[in-house]
Amino acid sequence: MDIKKYILGKKKIIDKALDRYLPAGSLKPQIIHRAMRYSVFPGGKRIRPVFTIAGFQACGGKDDSVMPVACGIELVHSYTLVHDDMPCMDDDDYRRGKKTCHKKFGEDIALLVGDGLLTLAFQVIAESRNIDVIKEISKAIGTRGIIGGQVADILGKDKNIEYINLKKTAVLFEIAVKSGGIIKGASKREINALGDFGRDIGFTFQLLDDLKDKDGYVKLFGAGRAKEKAEFLAKRAKRHLKIFGKKAETLLNLADLIAAS
């Protein structure tokens, strides 16, 4: 299979669904809806929701009942970016080649855009009518998960880099893949395997990002150790998928693509 083509195809479907879920820019108050759309589009590869869809497929899922959760995961990712960019956090002026939300719309609107995207994420996820997925996602993105990683990042990268990479990045990949299995009604064993895979590949993703930016893990432990660890984790990630047999093909290809980037 051509994995790059697969991702592009799914990105189109995800973007169409996101466009349907986001309030129109003509709806009042217009500025917040425009700012939300500005922050979500055009977006990147949509790799997290692609993982959700691939996780769903690994458990035998074929229909589009996974879409609300896949889009919810992307909306969560978008909210974290908007809040992370704000002056009291990373204070970034640009993201993906355009002005950050607060630079374009002001800090007050950016704060509310983040709040609005997080709230919309739960509204969209609720469309799946699956209470377990809401429980798992809210736990993963809370103060013992993603927000906890953000706090550790504020407290100081040097002491907590493993914890930060795990919570800020790996946990969202973990819950993204897992959610696909939960929606399909997979077994506990399958859901746990998806989670283990997602966490390892998410950590790999972050290490390779650190290598590109010469930041984080690389700054503290050097490029050699970071590369070694990334290779180890990408291999281990794939081993978690053995129980799925051939149905895990897409997830395996996604893992290889990330490891090669």
What is the contact surface with its own copies in residues (CB under 8 A)? 23, 27-29, 31-33, 36, 79, 83, 86, 88-89, 106-109, 111-112, 114-116, 118-120, 122-123, 126-127, 129-131, 134-135, 138-139, 141-144, 147-148, 150-152, 154-155
DSSP 3-state of 16: helix
Identity of the residue, 142 or 185, whose beta carbon is nearer to its own copies in the bound complex: 142
Decide: 54 and 173 in contact? Cβ < 8 Å: no
CB of 216 vs its own copies, minimal distance in Å: 18
CA atoms within 13 A on the CB side of 198: 32
Identity of the residue, 71 or 251, whose beta carbon is nearer to its own copies in the bound complex: 71
For 154-199, the DSSP string reads HH-HHHHHHHHIIIIIIHHHHHHHHHHHHHHT--HHHHHHHHHHHH
CB of 79 vs its own copies, minimal distance in Å: 8
Identity of the residue, 89 or 257, whose beta carbon is nearer to its own copies in the bound complex: 89
CB of 24 vs its own copies, minimal distance in Å: 11
CB of 250 vs its own copies, minimal distance in Å: 29
Identity of the residue, 8 or 88, whose beta carbon is nearer to its own copies in the bound complex: 88
Question: CA 237: distance to chain centroid?
Answer: 17
* CA distance to 189, 245, 252, 258, per residue, from 242 (Å): 12, 6, 10, 19
